[in-house]
Chain A
Amino acid sequence: MELKDYKNVFVFAEQREGNIQSVAYELLGKARDLADTLGEKVVAMLLGCGIKDQAQKLIEFGADEVIVADCPELKDYLSEQYTQVVDQIIKERCPNIVLYGATTIGRDMAPRIASRLKTGLTADCTKLEVVSDEKSNGEPQFRQTRPAFGGNLMATIICPNTRPQMSTVRPGVMQKRQREEGRQGIVTNFVPKFDTSKFKVKLVETIKEDKAMVDIADAKILVSGGRGVQNKEGFDKLQALADVLGGQVSSSRAMVDNGVMPHERQVGQTGKTVRPNLYMACGISGAIQHLAGMEESDFIIAINKDKFAPIFSAADLGIVGDLHKIVPMLTERLKKEIEK
């Protein structure tokens, strides 16, 4: 079989407890772009138990076909069971590209499959594109861009000689398409053939995480408050915003010293150094000790009444204004955005 005979863009549609994860729709959005450029189809793989009914939703988010493997063995994610099924589907259907979510499921299974198929896999891609240019001799080439060296460098990876070409993508990186209700597509039932002698791992129980203990250094989104927040009630407003964004609340030293916030939430010289994807500094003037702890954040938004506050020199977006008004309004607005 030649490379050009491998066709279509496949997406592993991750579900947990029967709920299709947002990352699956995001991948479908990107898969749609890639497939359209290549003139190929988007195929979703949906594995689970009692999930057949949800195939239509994947079609409405961009899949042309959904391959459903619905059986008790696939109720919970287990490496070997899922690998066997995805491997069988890929071997039967010979896709050109396969995308997985870079989650604890996708990052567990995709390398296992890559190794079984002896093909390439690129982790945590932030950009995926199909390009035909002089560097690819005019042929469409799948280029996968990802960060390396702790995000200090970006690398574009290609997989020229083996198929399928596979990538994982973190949740939140790609954009979902607008849902197209009533969109038509094919749902194909797949009956896996399990080699049960390989099932050596048994699920004893699943413990729902209590995320009460948080380390702000691990948080991807931080809503941080300083002297301008004033008191506990002020921080409640920040907490509401953090909840909507799925982030955590942190604090400047001033609000720790006066006992409003605990020390483990403190950012800066005598607190923690953080580098989240989003750092929202609310009512923080931006003393050097504070900046030292957060200036490496990917994106910094500052809200402060004082337009000369040094925090604005570190911010990507600065808003001169009253956080006590802006933060609640923003929270309400974001609630509506996210419901959409």
Chain B
Amino acid sequence: MSSRIFHIAANTFREAVRDRVLYNLIAFALLLTGAAILVGQISIQIERLVVINLGLTAVALFGVVIAIFIGIGLVSKEIEKRTLYTVLSRPVARWEFIAGKFVGLSGTLVVNASCMAVGVFAALLYVSRQLHGSDAWVLVAIYFIVLQFLITTALALFFSSFSSPLLSAVFTFCLFVAGSFAEDLRGFVGLSHGLQHWMAVIAVYAIPNFSALNIINQVAHGNGVSGQLVFWNTAYALVYIVAVLSGAIVIFEYRNLK
């Protein structure tokens, strides 16, 4: 990684920290503490299931909200406030700026998710008094959630490179929702014919498959995850992120910063 990408990433991370983005951890901690106490009182035998489901869903929602709402401003805010002018008038290539912004926000989300993961394990320990071997799969689920964050960040950055923050938020959110039902869309491909079939095929490849990255229910029931799934999900996320970021870079390279 070029030093310029690193410095832009570090500044993006610093901005998130100073703008109190990580304060969401307080809300998350309060939610999880309350849930753990409540679940401990009203659930019998399913405390772990409830805590893992609730905890991981909260990790995913908090992170996606941050990825969308910070991601959509990564480029457009810099243009609007003209802070970009003093960056791009230096020996910084436009692609380095996009890459730095992506790495910076991704780093913020990874730190955020790591803190939340500690919270989830603390809640698990509280309700079941001990951790089980199968709880390790929770880490894999969190890893997949982080992959979802990275894809969402790339999408927000892509839309931010050419449209307004509001439209970028709408587009990214719609794709997140559609991607969460990607498996249903795949089922529709098998049932449809003609033009509908081809449109569904295109949509299946274009829309990010977030449902394949959602194994919360599986790990909540203590079921393991195959190494093959980890490998293919990782490869899929990387290819998708590279493709979306390449699109953002191509658009941004030719954009007049009026």
Report if A and B associate in a common complex: no
- What is B's interface to A at a CB cutoff of 8 Å? none
